[in-house]
Amino acid sequence: MNKMIEVEHFTKRYGDFTAVDDISFTVDEGSIFAFLGPNGAGKTTMIKMMADVLLPDSGQILYDGRDIHIIGDEYRAKVGYLPQEISFYSNFTGKDYLAYSAALKGMEKSYAKQRIDELAHHVGLQNDLKRQCRAYSGGMQRRLGIAQALLDNPEILILDEPTAGLDPLERVKFRNIISAYSNDRLVLLSTHIVSEIEHIASKIMMMEYGVIRYVNTSEEYIKMAKNCVWLVKMSAEKLVEYQNNAVISNVIAKDGAMEVRVIDEEKPFANAVQTAPTLEDVYLYIFHYLPQKARR
Ligand SMILES: Nc1ncnc2c1ncn2[C@@H]1O[C@H](COP(=O)(O)OP(=O)(O)O)[C@@H](O)[C@H]1O
Ligand SMILES: [Mg+2]
């Protein structure tokens, strides 16, 4: 049987504020599971509990049928974790940071050296390892963090906003690394950027106010907004007025007018032409047309 993660009734409060409210779901081996939602939705809180660095107030998590608090260190040894914020020791080079992380993971030295070289190449930092990582750009620090999470080939890879600060080419490379990696492993990641995960996540949990809105595949989401995305031509003046009362996912200047991508359950204009949704359209549709009231 495949290994899986089962989260049962996770709840986390900060004081009397409920950040995660009774969330349950499962993640199968060989899959990429994504948490998607606006800032403040509770993604980081979920990720920290899955990485076992934050205790839930109630609920439990099973890996391969066993409670991770009972297996403890054995679980954490299987997890590679990229936190949303990393702090680096002031004079560490990229190489120092990775070597130090490898030592904390108990990796044997020559294996650690081999993995550091390999991963530095994968994330495109091979020429920067001798520089101090505090001087790295945000994107380079993120890539260094991704290399750290992958160091000892973890069975479970947990990444909080892994693509924050990456440029478009780095994002493509990241997606390829993660897709290849997920073959016989479990990958969990969070993002608030819809297009990052549309084509790689096996399951996407949309969350808001600490609760699950939906857990679906991309294809299932696309079906939800199937008849709700329209292309409309209008003048720039008209758009300025129209946009205050409409859900607009994109605008392209075309032939002296604006081609506006509108999310609407009904045909918004006589000249509107229906078009196929992207996951980003669906996200806008769900958060505007099927709103969740704050419960906390
Ligand atoms: N340590 C904390 N103390 C109090 N409130 C917190 C703490 N951490 C997070 N929160 C609150 O919990 C909610 C969820 O935060 P977080 O899990 O970071 O969301 P996300 O990662 O989706 O942006 C937010 O409203 C945030 O302000
Ligand atoms: Mg977060």
CATH value at residue 60? 3.40.50.300
Residue 284 placed within a domain: no
Read off the pLDDT of residues 164-202 as tens digits, 9 standing for 90 and up: 989 999 999 999 999 999 988 999 999 988 988 998 999
Over residues 228-273, the pLDDT tens digits come to: 999 999 999 999 999 999 999 999 998 889 999 999 999 999 999 9
Choose the final residue of a domain: 176, 191, 222: 222
Looking at the CA of 20, which ligand is closest? 1
Residues 233 and 210 both lie in one domain: no
Task: Flag whether pLDDT at 122 surpasses 90.
Answer: yes
Q: Does a structural domain hold residue 255? A: yes
**Spatial separation of the C-alpha atoms in residues 43 and 46, rounded to whole Å:** 5
Query: What is the pLDDT, as a whole number, of residue 195?
Result: 87
Same domain, 191 and 250: no
- Give the number of residues written for the chain: 296
By residue range, what is the domain housing residue 216? 4-222
Distances in Å between the Cα of 207 and the Cα atoms of 7, 34, 137 are 15, 10, 30
Instruction: Judge whether residue 108 has pLDDT over 90.
Output: yes
Contacts of 74 (CB under 8 A, 6+ apart): none
Q: Is residue 295 part of a domain?
A: no
Query: Whole-angstrom Cα distance, residue 44 to residue 35?
Result: 9
pTM summary value: 0.93
Does 258 lie in the same domain as 171? Answer: no
Q: What pLDDT is recorded for position 1?
A: 60
Residue 130 Cα to ligand 2 midpoint, Å, equals: 30
User: Is 154 found in the same domain as 85?
Assistant: yes
Which pair of tokens denotes residue 221?
């989401």
Whether residues 236 and 265 share a domain: the answer is yes
Element (H, E) at 140: helix 138-150
Distance 39 CA to ligand 1 centre (A): 9
Pocket test of ligand 1: the residue of 17, 47, 207, 213 to mutate, having most ligand atoms within 8 Å of its CB, is 17
Share the mean pLDDT of the chain. Answer: 94
**Same domain, yes or no, for 29 and 167?**
yes
Task: Give me the mean pLDDT over the 122-134 stretch.
Answer: 95
CA distances from 23 to 42, 147, 165, 294 (A): 11, 30, 29, 15
Based on the structure, what is the number of domains in the chain? 2
Among the bound ligands, the one closest to the CA of 43: 1
Nearest CA to ligand 1 atom 1: 14
292 in any annotated domain: no
Is residue 286 included in any domain, yes or no? Answer: no
Residue of minimum CA distance from atom 11 in ligand 1: 19
List, chain by chain if needed, residues with CB within 6 Å of any ligand 1 atom.
14, 17, 19, 37, 39-45
Is the pLDDT at 2 greater than 80? The verdict is no
Q: How far is the CA of 196 from the centre of ligand 2 (A)?
A: 15
- Among 197, 222, 247, the domain boundary falls at 222
